[in-house]
Amino acid sequence: MHLGRFAAGSFPGIRARYASAAHKKGSAQMNIIGRLLSSDDVVVGLDVPNKLRALQEVAAILERRHNVSQAPVLRALLRREQSGSTGLGHGIAVPHARIADISEPIVLFVRTRSAIDFRAADHEPVSFLFVILVPEHANEEHLKILATVSEMFSSKTFRDRLEAIVEPAAIQRLFSEWTTSGDSSQQTR
């Protein structure tokens, strides 16, 4: 499967390394994103003018919903962005950071009201943010989450379906029902 320019450039080798972590269609288990993302962790229509405000709002939302302190989350996300944009292309960014005071990964999906500049690889503005926070020493699980997200967003069918859905519960369901690339109905481009 071809991941597309944005995924391959952003997460080299991750998807291939953890392809076995994805579950085939019909499996009783849901994918790792489905286990982590609740409909309460889906925000639609966030009205922010730029990347900084988006990350500030994300940190505030995570503090309210997951009781993680806003300031260290924002600092970690900004530090990560300084080392290189998490804007992947196709209107998608995957801000991610390691956080000392959490014991389990936390994810959040945000769709902004208007696309914002994120210095993405394709120079296109971003309206989808998939935020990932992992414990400070989480390596395997962090990579599995990144690999799954990379595979999801490399699918044009998935991106188109995500664009069309407006209800948080339906968006959460779309992430939960994702199956590995063995499903030919989830074409990539």
pLDDT single digits (tens) 144-170: 999 999 999 999 999 999 999 999 999
Q: Is the pTM of this model over 0.85?
A: no
Identify the pLDDT of residue 139: 79
Average pLDDT value over all residues in the chain: 84
Active site residues: 96
The model's confidence at residue 69, banded by pLDDT at 50, 70 and 90, is very high
**Model confidence band, residue 140 (pLDDT cutoffs 50, 70, 90):** confident
Query: How buried is residue 117: exposed, middle or buried, by Cβ count under 10 Å (0-12/13-18/19+)?
Result: middle
CA distance 105 to 84: 22
Angle between helices 156-164 and 140-153 (to 10 degrees): 80
How far is Cα 52 from Cα 13, in angstroms, rounded to an integer? Answer: 29
Q: What is the pLDDT of residue 77?
A: 98
- The mean pLDDT of 49-53, rounded to a whole number, is 98
> Which of the two residues, 160 and 182, has the higher pLDDT score?
160
Burial bucket for residue 150 (CB in 10 Å: 0-12, 13-18, 19+): buried
